[in-house]
Structures are given as C-alpha cells and as structure tokens.
Structure 1
Amino acid sequence: MNAYRAKPLRYPWPPLLYLAGIIGAIMAGRFTALAPVPSPLPYVLPSIGFSIGLFAVTLDIWAVRTLMERQTPVFDTGCARHLVTCGPFRFSRNPIYLAYTLFTVALGFITGNAWFFIAAFLALLATRILAIPGEERHLEARFGYDYESYRKRTRRWI
C-alpha cells in the first residue's frame, strides 16, 4: 500500500468523540442519575479525580509538545512527517487518547457522576473503531518497517 492511498483522518474524530461523551455524561447526569460513586470520605474521590486529571493534562501537554517539537501535526487530519517514538510515545502509541480517557474518568471522580465512566469507555471504544485503524494504516504506509517495529515494541494504551 502506498502512502498516498492511506490518507490520515478527514476529521479530528477523537477530540469530538470525547467532547460528545463529556457533554452526554453531563446531560445524562441531569436527566437520569445513576447511583452516585460511593466514597468513604467526601474528599477522597474528588482528590483522586484531581490527581488523575492533573496527570491526564500533563500527559496531553507532553505528547502535544513532543509532536510539535518533531514538526508533526497534532491532529490526525495532517500527513505525518516523522514517526515520533520518543517522549510519551515511548510508552504508548496513543498517549493523547489515553489522556482524553483519563480526563473523562477524572471528571467522574470529581463530580461523582458515574455517567462519565460510561462516556470514557464509549469514547475509547469509538476512537478504537473509528480513528485508530485509519491512523495505523496511514503510519504503516508512510513509515513501513519502522512503524511495524515500533508497533511491536510499544503498546497501544499503556
């Protein structure tokens, strides 16, 4: 397969999928409350949520900065110029999507709204089905053996 046939995504799906999930969780929480997330002490779960959220934002900034330093488009609508395997990409092939998922989970802990956990799972599943296969085809067509080697040694999420 040549690199011109395996084009990158046409739309920035993952940010839109996670945003839709967050909005959906907020709306669902207003209209149909699930059982609240149980907490032994009132400040424990929000503290866990803030910790996860801080880690997610830090991971996202680190990944975006790594891409920008390597002059590679942050959104997958642009053609990849370089195969980035450093920074957080050493540990995860999709650190930005991992950060989005963790941030959505953090919102669930912070707000006590269990819909955020469902939204995180559904957004992760939709990203896995709608976005990642196209991205991987593009990277494989563009970088060939180097990408295959990277994919074998680096897990998709963590």
Structure 2
Amino acid sequence: MTDDRANRPNKLPWPPMLMVATALAAIGLGMILPLPLFEAWWLTLPGVLLVAIGLGLDVWAITTMRRAATNVLPHRAADQLVTSGPFRFSRNPIYLGNSLLLLGIGLAGGNAWFIVGAPVSALLVDRLAIRREEQHLAARFGAAWTAYAQQTPRWLF
C-alpha cells in the first residue's frame, strides 16, 4: 500500500471529528464528573470573546480559501497554496480558531473539561492532520510551500 500524500493528506477529516469528539467528551465529563471553574462568573466575558475570535478566524480563513478557489476539506487535496488573509500569520488558522473556540466555550460555560480538552485536541490535530497536510503541501507545491513554511509559524509562534 503506497502513501500518496500528493493526492490527499488523509482519508478522514480528523480536525472536525476531533473538535466534535472533544466537545462531546467535555459535555459528558461535565455531567458525570463536573470540573467547574470555581464559580468564576467573571470568566464569561473573556470566554465569549474567545468564541467570537475563534469563529471569526474560522470564517476569515474559510472565506480566504474559497476566494482562492481551493478546497476547504482537510482530507481532500489542496488546489492552491493560500498564503494571504489569516494564512499570513498562521499556517493553520482554522485549527487555531477551533482551539480558541473550545477554550472560549469552556470559559463562558464554566466547564473546565473544554479547557483541558482544547490542547489535547490541538495536539491530536497536529499529529493526525497537520503533519500529513504539510507533507501533502510539500509534495504538491514544492519550493513555494517550503518558502511559506519557513516564514509562517504552524500555529502562531
């Protein structure tokens, strides 16, 4: 069996699957074994702001990809190398937005399981999707990808 990363990075859309699994696990664990944030009502506003930033980043990145006429689905081949919009600051703004969304929901909803789950989900996305996507982009776009990857961080730093 050959690994043909030039055609598609993954067989499964890991990032949305992991985000949903993390949210469901956080909700379930919050019901079975609550991990509250010490009745921290003052965390609601920062949580709502993180949710808004996460959703805004997701929408901005998806809109940028659509304008570039490239595929948005993480398990399908990239048609174009997108380096504009939020991709100037992060090679993975959608995954960054998803992580901020999970953190924000945890803060706003007072469920610390979301906060625990966000970095775990990000790590799994990195290992199951990002590394494979980078191999796919390198195979597809060569020197252009290499130059972009050298100047733009994977997340934010």
**TM-score w.r.t. structure 2 length?**
0.92
Tell me what 1:16 maps to.
17
Runs (5+) with no aligned partner, structure 2: none
2:147 to 126, 146, 149: 149
Contact 2:36-2:110 within 8 A present in 1 as well: no
**CA shift for structure 1 position 60:** 0.3
Contact 1:37-1:109 within 8 A present in 2 as well: no
How many pairs does the alignment contain?
A: 153
CA–CA distance in structure 2, aligned partners of residues 5 and 156 of structure 1: 19
Tell me what 1:27 maps to.
28
Distance 1:110 1:151, change over 3 A: same
Q: Deviations over 1:96-127 (max 9, x none)?
A: 00000000000110111110011101110110
Distance 1:37 1:83, change over 3 A: farther
CA–CA distance in structure 2, aligned partners of residues 96 and 5 of structure 1: 21
% identity of equivalent residues: 41
Distance 1:45 1:79, change over 3 A: same
Aligned ranges 1:74-93 → 2 under 5 Å: 74-93=72-91
**TM-score w.r.t. structure 1 length?**
0.92
Q: Deviations over 1:44-99 (max 9, x none)?
A: 21111111111111110000000000111101222111110000000000000000
Runs (5+) with no aligned partner, structure 1: none
Contact 2:47-2:107 within 8 A present in 1 as well: yes
The runs of at least 4 consecutive aligned structure 1 residues that moved more than 6 Å come to none
Contact 1:45-1:110 within 8 A present in 2 as well: yes
